Amino acid sequence: MMSNLPLMLPAYAEMLLLISACVILIADLFIPDKRRDATYLLSLIALLITAFMTVLVAAATGGQPAYTFNNMFVSDAMATVLKLFTYLSVALCFVYSRSYLADRGMYRGEYFALALFATLGMQVMISANHLLALYLGLELMSLCLYAMVALDRDSARSTEAAMKYFVLGALASGLLLYGFSMIYGSTGSLDIALVKNALGAGGTNRTLLVFGLVFVVAGIAFKLGAVPFHMWIPDVYHGAPAAMTLFIATAPKLAAFAMAVRLLIGGLLPLAFDWQQMLMILAVLSMAIGNLAAIAQTNIKRMLAYSTISHMGFMLLGLLSGVVGGNLNSAADAYGSAMFYAVVYSITSLAAFGGVLLLSRAGFEAERIEDFKGLNQRSPWFALMLLLVMFSLAGVPPTAGFYAKFSVLTAVVQTGEIWLAVIAVVFSLIGAFYYLRIVKLMYFDAPSDTNPLNQRLDMNVLFSVNGLSMLALGLFPGALMSICLESVRTLV
């Protein structure tokens, strides 16, 4: 059946999104500012159609991996799931950001075009089966994100954040390319599957491979924001407009997770012993520095930035728990738990930064932690939604964050590394402090701002659904976990 499929079927969704983004970019030139909602709606429709095409492609391939472009691009179960959650994240970013951008003069076609092209880059990263394709997707996404951070051209802070992001991002791309060159020099191939076969067959220069692996892991760590490659996250999250921070903190993390899986598991699994040791150091440092530094923050965006660092450390625990003593018996459970964690974190971050946008208004940025004081008196419902979000980030039952952390810790315990699980639990308890501090401010402090929360109906409804999903996924995590487990089984 696979031989009868159209040649480029696995990439139909990406081709459709590319055409849609180009059409929207050109059409926006003829749309007056007072009718900018047309660009907004067209962008949402483009995402919806692309998601529908992704599902059709998955149905046509029967859930089996399908390749195109000389095996450089693959459509498999993991790609389908991560792409659908990427579309969902980007669509929610559009809805959450609508009022914020309009109030600050940034509600322009450039934002939507850049976001759609960045989404295309994420799609390519998620489906890359070749080192060159992976790098092209990464650069397409990264270049769009650099421009989005600097979209507020009159803000010196945003421009500075964009320059820092660009310089450090270029450095990380160089490290990644250098690692790719060493892997190519040792294996003679850029095809991820062929790299894995060459490593399994032996006869390669192990010293050169491990040296290249160090640079590859460094590049992955930068995109995830793991310590010690985390320097850009607090400054970029703080300096970028809140709508751009929302975008950077959510969907790109799913693409970065896919990049880590494609490289480490899809291509470099025979070197698992080496990269597991590296990920272990990155995970412990990220949980330690991320949680401890977040406690000292007074800016909510910087606090959530350090929170991101700690959560990426937790997710790395799942990735490093797959291979135990050279066998892959528990690999699917470990990698599935890491994927579940990445998806839950993305959904939770949407609500967390969405809450920042909810409290912001024209001429006022809700960036200080004190801005959340007395939110329960201003809006009990939205205070409850943010409480669920903070509980999920802290890993408090029965929210989704608790089950995500529990599944990762279970995978770690199965490896026999009990000390690593204990460290993760200790830092999770430390991290609970700064999340519960937000809850304390919302419910027990007098409000410093008594202005009503006047937001659009669509944002209010989606924020409520987003918050309640934290509770629903915590009470009934089985369906999403099963999807994640099944989608990674073909990789190991």
Cα 187 from Cα 290, distance rounded (Å): 37
C-alpha closest to that of 340 among 285, 261, 247, 424: 261
How many Å apart are CA 91 and CA 349, to the nearest integer? 14
In 3-state terms, what secondary structure has residue 364?
A: strand
Which of the four pLDDT bands, split at 50, 70 and 90, describes residue 33?
A: confident
**In angstroms, what CA-CA distances link 104 with 49, 169, 241, 242?**
30, 27, 10, 11
Say whether pLDDT at 326 is over 80: no
Tokens of 255: 């693409």
pLDDT at 331: 83
CA–CA separation, 164 and 253 (whole Å) = 19
Query: Tell me, what's the pLDDT at 464?
Result: 92
Residue 337 contacts residue 406 (beta carbons within 8 Å): no
374 band by pLDDT with thresholds 50, 70 and 90:
confident
Peptide bond into 228 cis (omega under 30): yes
Q: How far is CA 297 from CA 91, 238, 428, in A?
A: 30, 11, 17
SS (H, E, C) 352-364: HHHHHHHHCECCE
Mean pLDDT for the stretch of residues 388-406: 93
- Range scoring the smallest mean pLDDT among 3-12, 74-83, 103-112: 3-12
Mean pLDDT over 242-270 rounds to: 92
Give residue 330's pLDDT band: very low, low, confident or very high (50, 70, 90): confident
Output the average pLDDT for the chain.
90
Kindly tell me the sign of the dihedral angle through the C-alpha atoms of 88, 94, 95, 100: positive
What predicted TM-score, i.e. pTM, was given to this entire model? 0.94
Give the number of C-alpha atoms closer than 13 A to the C-alpha of residue 373, restricted to the C-beta side.
11
Which range is least confidently modeled, 230-239, 242-251, 446-455? 446-455
Residue among 253, 199, 234, 218 nearest 86 (CA): 253
C-alpha span between 370 and 150 (Å, rounded): 27
* pLDDT attached to residue 449: 72
Give pLDDT, residue 1.
39
Confidence class of residue 188 from pLDDT cuts 50, 70 and 90? confident
Which pLDDT score, from 0 to 100, does residue 124 have? Answer: 95
Rounded (5°) CA angle 340-346-349: 135
pLDDT of residue 5: 58
- Report the C-alpha gap between 468 and 176 in whole angstroms: 39
Q: Are 115 and 98 in contact (CB under 8 A)?
A: no
pLDDT digits (tens, 9 = 90+) for 42-96: 999 999 999 999 999 999 888 788 888 888 999 999 999 999 999 999 999 999 9
For the chain, the domain total comes to 1
Helix, strand, coil percentages (3-state) for the chain, rounded to 5, are 80, 5, 20
Q: Which residues lie closer than 8 Å to 205 by C-beta, 6 or more apart?
A: 185, 186
The two structure tokens encoding residue 220? 């992955």
Alpha helix positions (H), 62-150: 77-103, 109-127, 131-149
Residues 89, 250 contacting (CB under 8 angstroms): yes
Q: What pLDDT is stored for residue 215 in this prediction? A: 94
Tell me the C-alpha distance between 70 and 74, whole Å.
Answer: 10
Question: What value does the mean pLDDT take over residues 287-300?
Answer: 92
Pick from 41-50, 203-212, 307-316: least confident:
203-212
- Cβ atoms of 396 and 339 within 8 Å: the answer is no
Whether the per-residue pLDDT at 29 is higher than 80: the answer is yes
Greatest mean pLDDT range, 25-34, 176-185, 354-363: 176-185
454-472, pLDDT tens digit by residue?
A: 767 888 889 999 999 999 9
Q: End-to-end alpha-carbon separation of the chain, Å?
A: 23
CA 35 to chain centre: 31
Check the CA dihedral 191-197-203-205 and report its sign.
positive
Q: What percent of the chain has pLDDT over 70?
A: 98
Residue 114's domain comprises 2-489
C-alpha 368/C-alpha 301 separation (Å) is: 8
Whether residue 135 contacts residue 181, with contact meaning beta carbons closer than 8 Å, is answered with no
Asked whether residue 4 carries a pLDDT value surpassing 80, the answer given is no
Question: CA angle, corner 112, sides to 72 and 239, nearest 5?
Answer: 100
268 three-class SS: coil
Higher pLDDT, 3 or 301: 301
Q: How far apart are CA 424 and CA 248, in angstroms?
A: 25
| Two structure tokens written together for 222 | 């930068």
Alpha-carbon gap, residue 415 to 298, rounded angstroms: 38
What percent of the chain lies above the pLDDT cut of 90?
Answer: 63
2 pLDDT higher than 60: no
Could you tell me the pLDDT band of residue 125, with boundaries at 50, 70 and 90?
very high
Yes or no: say if 92 and 117 are a contact pair by the CB < 8 Å rule. Answer: no
Contact in structure between 249 and 237 (CB atoms under 8 Å): yes
